[in-house]
């Protein structure tokens, strides 16, 4: 597992990192109801389709702590999803999931941009099973047709109805995105920089990362900072697909 990019981007060791760690990236395995898909991209790799999606993205600028006119601060919430679809999708191994940003600025004075996050090790999952449905008095409930008659099986016996009973459990998960910081140093002239703030490997055909209250801060900047989030998947054979969200101005 690696925190900065290993593929041609500047190492964060040259950056002055700003920002405080807050609740952050949580590994999950279930979709979000009524999700707002911000961007989606796909490629074909080894005969399988690799689909990367950003959804429910919201970046909120807030007044910077200290009130300096040369500082900017924001929080990012959203979801990144990797789906691999095809005959060998379940056997995919060593895919790399990356989350990061493109930053743009007009000018800076000894400027830097930093991003901080924290990924808990516990996730809450809901499981359950089907049990025979009963009336309040304990009598069994049977399936009925549109006329109210009991539906019979091949032996002439009424078919019992079943109901799903959920059960919530806490499961320990291995997070691919741990607590860490990442950052870049800004040039005095206008510039654009891409920063991979976190990456990690995963196996299988699905991975979802909840991006919750990731904190970003810029110091020493003149004018607004533009932030564009991205999610990227790189397969074991080097194929990669990236989805870029819209530009947010802070």
**SS3 per residue for 119-181:** CCCEEEEEEEEEEECECCCCCECECECCCCCECECCCCCECECEEEEEEEEEEECCCCCCCEE
Asked if 45 and 237 touch (Cβ cutoff 8 Å), the reply is yes
Q: Are residues 44 and 91 in the same domain?
A: yes
Q: Are strands 240-244 and 48-62 parallel, antiparallel or unpaired?
A: unpaired
- Same structural domain for residues 210 and 145? no
Same domain for 213 and 107: yes
Give percent above pLDDT 70 in the chain.
72
How would you class 200 by CB atoms within 10 Å of its CB: exposed for 0-12, middle for 13-18, buried for 19 or more? buried
Residue 242 and residue 132 in one domain:
no
**Of the candidates 6, 190, 14, 180, the residue with the CA atom closest to the CA atom of residue 103:** 190
SS3 219: strand
Q: Report yes or no on 35 lying in a domain.
A: yes
Residues 106 and 25 in one domain: yes
Any domain includes 4: no
pLDDT digits (tens, 9 = 90+) for 163-204: 545 554 444 444 555 556 788 899 999 999 999 988 888 999
Whether residue 195 is found in the same domain as residue 99: yes
pLDDT digit string, tens, across residues 119-128: 543 333 444 5
Q: Would residue 14 be called left, alpha or beta, if left means φ above 0 and alpha means ψ between -120 and 50 degrees?
A: alpha
**Structural domain tally of the chain?**
2
Q: pLDDT band at residue 26, thresholds of 50, 70 and 90? A: very low
Tell me, what's the pLDDT at 88?
87
How confident is the model over 62-69, as a mean pLDDT? Answer: 88
User: Alpha-carbon distance 183 to 197, whole Å?
Assistant: 8
104's enclosing H/E stretch is strand 95-117
* 93/189 same-domain check: yes
Could you tell me the pTM of the whole model? Answer: 0.64
Look at residue 208 and tell me if it is in a domain: yes
Q: Provide the domain limits for residue 243.
A: 12-121+178-249
pLDDT value of residue 7: 34
Q: Report CA dihedral (181, 186, 191, 197) to the nearest 10 degrees.
A: -10
* Pair of tokens at residue 211: 């991006």
Residue-averaged pLDDT of the chain = 76
144 vs 115, residue with greater confidence: 115
For the chain, what is the radius of gyration of the CA atoms?
Answer: 24
What's the whole-number mean pLDDT along residues 41-70? 91
Same domain for 21 and 92, yes or no, is: yes
Asked if the structure places residue 7 within a domain, the reply is no
What is the SS3 assignment for 212? Answer: strand
User: 212 falls in which pLDDT band (50, 70, 90)?
Assistant: confident
User: Two tokens at 213?
Assistant: 């209250």
Same domain, 39 and 111: yes
pLDDT grade for 38, boundaries at 50, 70 and 90: confident
3-state secondary structure 30-59: CCCCCCCEEEEEEEEECCEEEEEEEEEEEE
């Amino acid at each position: 597992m690696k925190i900065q990019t290993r593929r041609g981007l500047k190492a964060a060791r040259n950056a002055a990192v700003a920002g405080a760690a807050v609740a952050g990236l949580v590994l999950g395995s279930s979709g979000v109801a009524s999700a707002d898909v911000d961007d989606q991209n796909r490629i074909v790799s080894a005969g399988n389709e690799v689909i990367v999606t950003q959804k429910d993205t919201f970046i909120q600028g807030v007044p910077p702590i200290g009130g300096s006119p040369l500082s900017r601060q924001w929080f990012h919430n959203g979801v990144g999803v990797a789906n691999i679809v095809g005959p060998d999708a379940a056997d995919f191994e060593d895919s790399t999931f990356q989350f990061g940003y493109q930053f743009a600025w007009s000018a800076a004075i000894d400027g830097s941009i930093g991003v901080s996050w924290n990924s808990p090790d516990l996730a809450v999952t809901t499981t359950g099973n089907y049990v025979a449905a009963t009336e309040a008095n304990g009598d069994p409930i049977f399936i009925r047709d549109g006329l109210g008659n009991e539906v019979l099986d091949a032996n002439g016996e009424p078919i019992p109805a079943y109901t799903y009973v959920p059960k919530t459990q806490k499961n320990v998960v291995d997070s691919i995105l741990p607590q860490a910081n990442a950052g870049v140093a800004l040039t005095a002239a206008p510039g654009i920089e891409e920063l991979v703030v976190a990456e990690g490997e995963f196996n299988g055909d699905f991975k979802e990362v909840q991006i919750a209250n990731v904190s970003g801060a810029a110091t020493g900047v003149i004018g607004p900072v533009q932030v564009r989030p991205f999610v990227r998947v790189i397969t074991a054979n080097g194929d990669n697909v990236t989805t870029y969200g819209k530009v947010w101005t802070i």
